[in-house]
Amino acid sequence: MALINENYLQLPGNYLFSEIARRINKYKEEHPGAEIIRLGIGDVTQPLVPAVIDAFQKAVTELGDAKTFRGYGPEQGYSFLINKIIEHDYRPLGVELDEDEIFVSDGAKCDTGNIQEIFGLDNIIAVTDPVYPVYVDSNVMAGRSGKLGVDGKYQKIVYLPCTEANGLKPELPKTKVDLIYLCFPNNPTGMTLTKEELKRWVDYARANQAIILFDAAYEAYIQEKGIPHSIYEVEGAKEVAIEFRSYSKTAGFTGTRCAFTVVPKSVVAYDSTGKAHPLNKLWLRRQTTKFNGVSYPVQVAATAIYTDEGKEQIKKVIAYYMTNAQIIREGLQKLGFKIYGGINAPYIWLKTPGNLSSWDFFDKLLNEVQIVGTPGSGFGPSGEGYFRLTAFGSRENTEKAMERLQNISI
Ligand SMILES: *Cc1c(COP(=O)(O)O)cnc(C)c1O
């Protein structure tokens, strides 16, 4: 008899996005012809930039000729891309990395989901609340979470609430934890940490022999000076942090798929006898066993992002989204909403008016002004009473949504 991994039974159904779809469909049935504006999407909408397309096409053509054809590449990624990452993403920040500290992959979702495999099952996990669900669910699947309580929290996971009370910035855990997932700029709140704030986490990790799993998927959206683009800008982070980056939001690669993870050779965790082991070696072993690399044309396309042309072009796309974010921020502020984010991230996190629940506010927006966003409660218990809007829509829809919002009754 084949037995299942019973940890999967601890997962709740994928309720959030299916429930959103259900409510939209119901509304459409009752109001045929209604024009719904979606500001809930976490996906980009602008096309790949010309520099990327050009490089992509040339690389595809190479594969059609026996003289330039390529089969399997290195599992960790081609040197031509890794060297651009070192030179353009890290050296300007004063961060020196070796080639074998960077692992190119097909997504930060898989890497943030898979990284837990190299850690023991007895580690205590800490996550911010609200949170990107992948960090929690991947640990549930592995059996690190314990049971889901009626409060919406897994018994063994330490939740770090990010609410109005702490300005949506997580406080250090009160009990000892071993693995800490941090994402800044944050999805869903759009908040960032200063270097000093991030340093407290690095110091905590160093003092407690803990590891920080730092998701920097939205690094390219940082507009203000003084916000760290990489955790390695913080002194000592190279001993305790793994960093995840992705071209998905940076350069519209959500469908093209390319990302990378940085595992400095100086980051160690311990075996049961207390002996230190470099995590770089474990991740290399994991990737070379279970992953066969990102396709050649995609890595060539990603490399084009680092040309002068490519940089210029993706900067414009990010500026387009960030103008949307500003339009949303201003529109909401004019109406008296309490809002967060949207300055260094494409997400705007708002407090629902009149203490409405996240879902009640979802229904109100849909029914009164036909705008769809994402209920904050879908990102964790502390997201209740909040709501996420994104800047990834078109300019036209973003402006139209803010006009319509003026007719909402609050
Ligand atoms: C979109 C997103 C990613 C990127 O995932 P990919 O698999 O690289 O597309 C990673 N982390 C967070 C928090 C995200 O929102």
| In the predicted structure, residue 410 carries a pLDDT above the cut 80 | no
| In the predicted structure, residue 14 carries a pLDDT above the cut 80 | no
* CB-based contact 130:383 (threshold 8 Å): yes
Pocket test for ligand 1, best of 215, 374, 392 (most atoms within 8 A of CB): 215
Ligand 1 mean position, distance from CA 327 (Å):
24
> Which of the 8 DSSP states describes residue 203?
H
pLDDT in tens, 219-257: 999 999 999 999 999 999 999 999 999 999 999 999 999
pLDDT in tens, 332-372: 999 999 999 999 999 999 999 999 999 999 999 999 999 99
If phi > 0 it is left, if psi is from -120 to 50 it is alpha, else beta; for residue 205 that is: alpha
Shortest-distance Cα residue to atom 2 of ligand 1: 217
Interatomic CA distance for residues 118 and 116, integer angstroms = 5
What is the predicted pLDDT for the residue at 15?
79
How much helix, strand and coil, in percent to the nearest 5, is found in the chain? Answer: 45, 15, 40
What is the predicted pLDDT for the residue at 289?
98
8-47+309-405 homologous superfamily: Aspartate Aminotransferase, domain 1 (3.90.1150.10)
Interatomic CA distance for residues 280 and 265, integer angstroms = 5
What is the predicted pLDDT for the residue at 41?
79
Give the tokens for residue 406: 């003026």
- Per the listing, tokens 């290195």 go with 74
Q: What is the mean pLDDT of residues 59-76?
A: 98
* CB-based contact 232:176 (threshold 8 Å): no
What is the predicted pLDDT for the residue at 58?
98
Letter for the amino acid at 322? M
* 103 Cβ contact partners less than 8 Å away, ≥ 6 residues apart: 76, 77, 111, 260, 261, 262, 263, 283, 284, 287
Pocket test for ligand 1, best of 16, 109, 111, 184 (most atoms within 8 A of CB): 109
Asked, colleague to colleague, whether 8-47+309-405 and 54-306 share their fold, the answer is: no
* CB-based contact 341:332 (threshold 8 Å): no
Overall residue count recorded for the chain in this entry: 410
The minimum-distance atom of ligand 1 relative to the CA of 183 is: 13
Pocket test for ligand 1, best of 132, 184, 258, 379 (most atoms within 8 A of CB): 132
pLDDT in tens, 15-46: 788 899 999 999 999 999 999 999 997 899 99
Q: What percent of the chain has pLDDT over 90?
A: 97
- Name the burial class of residue 372, with classes exposed (0-12), middle (13-18) and buried (19+) by CB atoms within 10 angstroms of its CB: buried
Could you tell me which of 16, 133, 44 has the C-alpha nearest to residue 387? 16
Distance of CA 403 to the CA centre of its chain: 29
What CATH fold (topology level) applies to the domain 54-306? Aspartate Aminotransferase; domain 2 (3.40.640)
Could you tell me which of 107, 392, 114 has the C-alpha nearest to residue 260? 107
Pairing between strand 268-270 and 276-278? antiparallel
Q: What is the mean pLDDT of residues 264-281?
A: 98
Domains in the chain: boundaries: 8-47+309-405, 54-306
Letter for the amino acid at 98? D
Interatomic CA distance for residues 342 and 294, integer angstroms = 32
Sign of the CA dihedral with 196 first, then 202, 205, and 211 last: positive
* CB-based contact 92:150 (threshold 8 Å): no
